[in-house]
Amino acid sequence: MPVFRSALLRFADDGTALYDADGLLAVGPDTQGRQRVLAAGAWSDLAPRFGCGPVEHLPGRIIAPGFVDMHIHFPQTDVIGSPADGLLPWLENYTFPHEKRFAAPEYSAQVAQFFVAELLRNGVTTALAFATSHPASVEALFREAQRHQMRLITGKVLQDRHSPDGVRDDTAQSLIDTEALIRRWHGVDRLGYAITPRFAPTSTPAQLRGAGELAARYPDVWIQSHVAENLDEIRWARELFPASRSYLSVYGDFGLLRERAVYAHCIHLDELDRALLRDTGAVAAVSPTSNLFLGSGFFDYAEADRVGMRYGLASDVGGGTSFSPFHTMLAAYCVGRATVEGLQGKRGLSLSPQHLWWQHTAGAARALGLAGVVGNLQPGCEADFVVLNPQATPLLARRTAQAGSLDELLFAMIVLGDDRLVEKTVISQAKYGSCAG
Ligand code: GUN
Ligand code: ZN
């Protein structure tokens, strides 16, 4: 049974961080042979029971839960940093032309290999990812995640209108392909399927209806899409679906709002929209680097919390600018500060570093319906974790050495951290021992 001794970060059920400066993490196989956390806590409490055999001692390091990215596009790995005058021209001029290339299985496989390695290098151990409209892209990403025994959820993008040749799919065939992929991959090893309408403007009512029927037939399959990201997008969606109360309601009207439904952005919502998310159990994937890069707007944390809707953090690569959860958490903090500053008389928030970290680990897992499975290091969780080196750069070393509290330590890592902070990423294996980093 592997036992680690180092500083240890994990989360209580209420989202507060639990930190042991001298901690112990014991990991062992469950009945299926999957590595899970057996014990986590202070070394002094647990060593009598778990510290007698071989111990991997990691002085100066912090073991923390692997990060959970709630929304990322694997085929946009090479689209990062494509500037445009907002979302719609960005899709038309960069994203759709690039995604055409994923019709080729070899190209999909090559990008999938890089993408999964890049997630792991950045400490991301669970991801909900868009593929493209080509089933081959889904196959490629599932196969690569399976090779790493990574927990990954993806799906074939549904887009049967307002899309160029090469990415536009056929309504009936798209639903047949989706169901075949669900049956082939959902629940295999650590993989899950997500029914993936790109966004309402690029699907016909018939395609959305079919997606909703599949979502009802396969209730533990995820749903992922985009909503209320950009004002031009919202105007377009309202024109196309005039009978729906709001852009978000379009998805509800087609049976696409429920537990395990994840909507990227959720920026321009009203009170009824937020209540609809809360009441249906659908959640928001907050993507601050993307929102800043594309100039989409700011997620309103205060209103989300007031209404009680669930959310977590996401990179949204390639609208988003970084695979690094540290960059995403920092951007979320800056967005919180900027939110409604000077508007409606409200002041910006200071999201706490514990809350930011939780949103990208245990909070994101909870939003995905995976609480107690990933995103935390409490007993019973799958043993996905990162080993952080707070001395990874000269500035990190200076700043973290002066941290006088857990909040100061976490903030220093959020503000100064990137892939260099992640010394190792460990994935829960059916047979122990795979590391990346
Ligand atoms: N809306 C529809 N498609 C996309 C996409 O690929 N990225 C983002 N950020 N928004 C979208
Ligand atoms: Zn997206």
Domain boundaries, the chain: 3-66+376-436, 67-367
Determine the pLDDT at residue 431. Answer: 58
Greater model confidence, 437 or 316: 316
Flag the least confident range among 11-15, 32-36, 303-307, 344-348: 344-348
pLDDT tens track for 146-171: 999 999 999 999 999 999 999 999 99
Q: Burial, 303: exposed, middle or buried (Cβ in 10 Å; 0-12, 13-18, 19+)?
A: middle
Q: Which atom of ligand 1 is nearest to the CA of 294?
A: 9
pLDDT bucket at 339, cuts 50 / 70 / 90: low
Q: Can you tell me the mean pLDDT for 345-350?
A: 76
Per-residue confidence at 110, pLDDT binned at 50, 70, 90?
very high
Place of tokens 């950009």: 230
pLDDT category at 102 given cuts 50, 70, 90 is very high
Structure tokens at 71: 């929304």
Going from the Cα of 319 to the center of ligand 1, the distance in angstroms, rounded, reads 7
**Residue 341: is its pLDDT beyond 70?**
no
What CATH number labels 3-66+376-436?
2.30.40.10
**What's the pLDDT at 32?**
87
What's the pLDDT at 282?
Answer: 99
Confidence tier at 434 by pLDDT (50, 70, 90): very low
Ligand 2 center to residue 173 CA distance, Å?
Answer: 23
- Our answer on whether the CB atom of 266 is closer than 6 Å to any ligand 1 atom is no
Confidence of residue 436 (pLDDT cuts 50, 70, 90): very low
Spatial distance between the Cα atoms of 313 and 124, rounded to a whole number of angstroms: 12
Nearest ligand, measured from the Cα of 92: 1
User: Given ligand 1 and candidates 90, 199, 317, which is best to mutate, with the most ligand atoms within 8 Å of its CB?
Assistant: 199
Task: Give the number of the atom of ligand 1 that is nearest the alpha carbon of residue 287.
Answer: 9
Nearest to 316 by CA among 336, 333, 332: 332
Backbone angles phi, psi at 207, to 5 degrees: -70, -40
Q: CB of 328 within 8 A of CB of 289? A: yes
Rounded to whole angstroms, how far apart are CA atoms 151 and 103? Answer: 24
Are the beta carbons of 208 and 197 closer than 8 angstroms? yes
- Reported as a pLDDT band with limits 50, 70 and 90, residue 340 is low
> Is 87 close to ligand 1, i.e. is its CB under 6 Å away?
yes
| Pocket flag, ligand 1, residue 199 (CB < 6 Å) | yes
* 345 band by pLDDT with thresholds 50, 70 and 90: low
Residue 429, pLDDT score: 87
The atom of ligand 1 lying closest to the CA of 316 is 9
Tallying the residues shown for the chain, one arrives at: 437
Q: Which CATH architecture has domain 67-367?
A: Alpha-Beta Barrel (3.20)
Q: Does position 219 have pLDDT exceeding 50, yes or no?
A: yes
pLDDT on residue 284: 99
For residue 150, give the nearest of 119, 184, 177, 171 by alpha carbon.
119
Question: How confident is residue 343, by pLDDT bands cut at 50, 70 and 90?
Answer: low
Band of the pLDDT at 432, cuts 50, 70, 90?
very low
Q: What is the pLDDT of residue 193?
A: 99
What's the rounded mean pLDDT across residues 215-225? 99
Summary mean pLDDT of the chain? 96
Instruction: Give the integer Cα–Cα distance in Å for 304 and 71.
Output: 18
The 10s digit of each residue's pLDDT in 350-391 is: 999 999 999 999 999 999 999 999 999 999 999 999 999 999
Mean pLDDT value across residues 54-70:
98
**Which of 356, 371, 375 has the alpha carbon at shortest distance from 260?**
371
Burial class (CB in 10 A: 0-12, 13-18, 19+), 57: exposed
